[in-house]
Each structure stands twice: as C-alpha cells, then as structure tokens.
Structure 1
C-alpha cells in the first residue's frame, strides 16, 4: 500500500491567487470550489461577510504523489491562518524539476537559505513565498554529492 501525504495551506482571501501561482510553478490540474459554489450555511455566512467568492477548498494535483490543497480562512471561523510550511524532497534524478520549482517559488519570496549543497550531501534551500508559506526543498545528493 502506498500512502501519500498532502499539505493543506490556509490564507485569508488569497487562496485562489496563491493556488494559481503554485499551478504556474508546479504544473498540474487545479480544482477550486468557493463558498458560494457549496451553498448552505457556510456560503450564507461567507456571503454576509463578503467572502462568498473565497475558496472553500482547492486541490492542485501535480502527479500521483504530489497534491497541494488549500482554502481561505473565513472571518466567521475563530483564529487566524498560521505560517505554514511545505517540504518537498526528491532524488537526484528529479533535481532539474525541483530546481525549476525552487526558481518559480522564489519569485517575490524571501530566501532564508539558498538552494545549495548542504553538509549532509544533499542540496537544500528554504524560503518564504510571496503568500507567506515557508517552503523547504531538499534534493538528494547523487552518490554523496549535493
């Protein structure tokens, strides 16, 4: 049995824009449902607060093993969206793809640690993207090289 984990990221009114950005970087198929699309109580509350077009759920299916999901955190739900972290790790054979994703995610980002060879033999980088999400990218070293 194969188990896949899929990060779920939350924003306040930026989910559609952020998920469309991630689709432009990662590729894949994006599906988006707004509060208005879903009807019922949640849509009524969101509509009353001017948030009916906010994203209730979105899913970016990049591959059989890469799924990124996200939503807007409506005003009527207690709390605030927290800084969230997504980690991407892959083998050296996928290094070109992962480096391209890093380059795309870096647009408008604050790079905390450039993607570069790390002491443990992999290539590693950390950034906070323009939507406030922290990304960690790790590319396994080929035969001990980053």
Structure 2
C-alpha cells in the first residue's frame, strides 16, 4: 500500500495551456481528458476544457490540473489548487478520508465516480481542499 500527494492546479479554461507550458519547462509526458472525452459535458462551450490532466516527468516532477466548470464557483485567488492524494487500495484511501473529514466540509462524498472506483473532495478545518481517489487506468 502506498499513496502519493500531488499539487492539483485549478483553472477556468487555461488548464491545457498551463500543462503544456509546465511540460515544456520540466519535460515528461502529458495526459489530458476533456469533459467531452469523459462524456461529462455540462456546457457545450466547455466541452474541450480539461476535466483532468497531468504532467509526469522522469525527474520526479508531477502536477495535475483541471478547468473548473462555469456552473461551479471559482476565484483564482481563493482556491487555486487542491492537494491530490491517490492510492491503489480503497481501504487505505477510505481510512485517510475518515481522518481528514473530521471537522471538514465535504465538497463531494467519497464514493464511486465515472472515472475512479473511489473519488471524494473535502475542505479541511484549515481551509485546504483535498481530493482523494483510488487510481484506475485511463482507457481513452
């Protein structure tokens, strides 16, 4: 069992450009899933926005990003990032969730999602937003 933490940046329409820039600086490979790719288009103007993306480099650099849909509140200065905790063991992720959830505000309950066996988001009592999930291979 193991988990990793990754900075998860939040944008509104600029996630793809940002990840392209970070890849040009740090190297590595980019994976990008648009809302259209995931079958989760809420607004046709945002179909090609990034629902999830990352840059991973052999030198250890790893960053994730997504475009916050327009139906959700977003202010770049208030919530520019999440801390992502990913693992392969559902019991381990669930145990971490239970501990982090004490005194927190649950944004999205930890439960099965279209893209992951478990996915949840909460803002802890210190104002840090955490995303926890169990990884699943991307077949897009």
TM-score computed with the length of structure 2 as normaliser: 0.51
Q: Which has the higher helix share?
A: 1
Partners of 2:19 and 2:80 in 1: how far apart? 14
Q: Which has the higher strand share?
A: 2
Residue aligning to 1:17: 17
What number of residue pairs does the alignment pair up? 81
Aligned residues: CA RMSD: 2.4
Query: Which structure 2 residue ranges, 5 or more long, are not aligned?
Result: 83-140
The structure with higher relative contact order (CA 8 Å, sep 6+) is 2
Q: SS at 1:78's partner residue?
A: coil
Partners of 1:2 and 1:65 in 2: how far apart? 16
Matches within 5 A, 1:1-146: 3-39=3-39, 42-43=40-41, 45-47=42-44, 50-63=45-58, 65-81=60-76, 82=78, 84=80
CA gap of 1:76–1:84, structure 2 versus 1, over 3 A, is closer
TM-score computed with the length of structure 1 as normaliser: 0.49
Task: State the structure with more CA Rg.
Answer: 1
